[in-house]
Amino acid sequence: MIPIGPSPRNTWRVSGEAADLVRPAIAPRPVTVAARPKRVTFDLARSAILVIDMQNDFCHRDGWLASIGVDVAPARAPIAPLCALLPLLRAASVPVVWVNWGSRPDRLNLSPALLHVYNGSGAGAGLGDPLPGTGSPVLQTGAWSAQVVDELAPDPRDIRIDKHRMSGFWDTPLDSILRNLRVDTLFFAGVNLDQCVLHTMADANFAGFDTLLVEDCAATTNPDFCRQATILNIHQIFGFTLASTDLMEAMSP
């Protein structure tokens, strides 16, 4: 019989006369890690990491946020810990999924309300408008502004999702891709913690995924009370938080 399916983890075996619907067994790889508010054991074989919006417009000193006077130093803080963590996850065959803001060039997937959020006066450089310094259209798919920062250059094995809302699950194939990978547990990283990271994590939790935030791999350019409130909400509602160093130590042989 011939295997058929979107990924090696999610396949049938078929012939002209029969179909075997039993998916391949995925041997569990339990890992126990120090986390908050309690210790967590998860299955590494059924896990993925979502890295959200680590893009030039949010994290580069020539990007959109910097151009409107935002200090992007906090948004760059996750770069170093992610540089250490992501190769270890890839080596363990954990999917790395980049969930990046990437609007259509014609902006037909953006509402006036959403455009207003990013260009309140209507006279500034909002979504899809060229930045005065670089000329790159703000957060437009395929443009320099929407690319992952150079320090975190994605691996060819990684998966990319373009989003156009705060949540990476809204009107994107993210849910389908994760289910075809037969993933149950999601780690979260990126910016802004209290906006796109939180909303994507909330939707993942509502959809039935286990959700854990890697605290030092996520950040916000907003005041620290926003970070504190987000961590509190995660502990009370959405799951757990942990440090990348504790995760790497727990994964070590």
Is 189 domain-assigned?
A: yes
* Side-chain half-sphere exposure of 207, counting CA atoms within 13 A: 21
The model's pLDDT over 231-253, given as tens digits with 9 standing for 90+, comes to 999 999 999 999 999 999 999 97
- Write down the pTM of the prediction: 0.96
For residue 144, the tally of other CB atoms under 10 A from its CB is: 17
Is 19 domain-assigned?
A: no
Is 99 domain-assigned?
A: yes
State the pLDDT at residue 133.
87
Is 18 domain-assigned?
A: no
Residues 4, 203: Cα–Cα separation, whole Å: 30
Residues 178, 196: Cα–Cα separation, whole Å: 18
Is 74 domain-assigned?
A: yes
Q: Which residues pair with 187 in a beta bridge?
A: 49, 212
Q: Using pLDDT thresholds of 50, 70 and 90, give the confidence band for residue 184.
A: very high
Is 154 domain-assigned?
A: yes
Residue 64 has pLDDT above 90, yes or no: yes
Question: Three-class SS of residue 16?
Answer: coil
Whichever domain contains 46, its CATH number is 3.40.50.850
State the pLDDT at residue 90.
98
State the pLDDT at residue 117.
87
DSSP string, 25-79: P----EEEE--BSS-EEEEGGGEEEEEE--BHHHHSTTSHHHHTT---HHHHTTH
The model's pLDDT over 76-88, given as tens digits with 9 standing for 90+, comes to 999 999 999 999 9
CA dihedral 153, 154, 155, 157 (to 10 degrees): -170
What type of residue sits at position 25? A
Q: How many domains does the chain have?
A: 1
Is 36 domain-assigned?
A: yes
Q: What percent of the chain has pLDDT over 90?
A: 95
Report the pLDDT averaged over residues 111-128.
Answer: 90
State the pLDDT at residue 253.
78
Is 200 domain-assigned?
A: yes
Structural domain for 86, as ranges: 26-251
Residue 118 has pLDDT above 90, yes or no: no
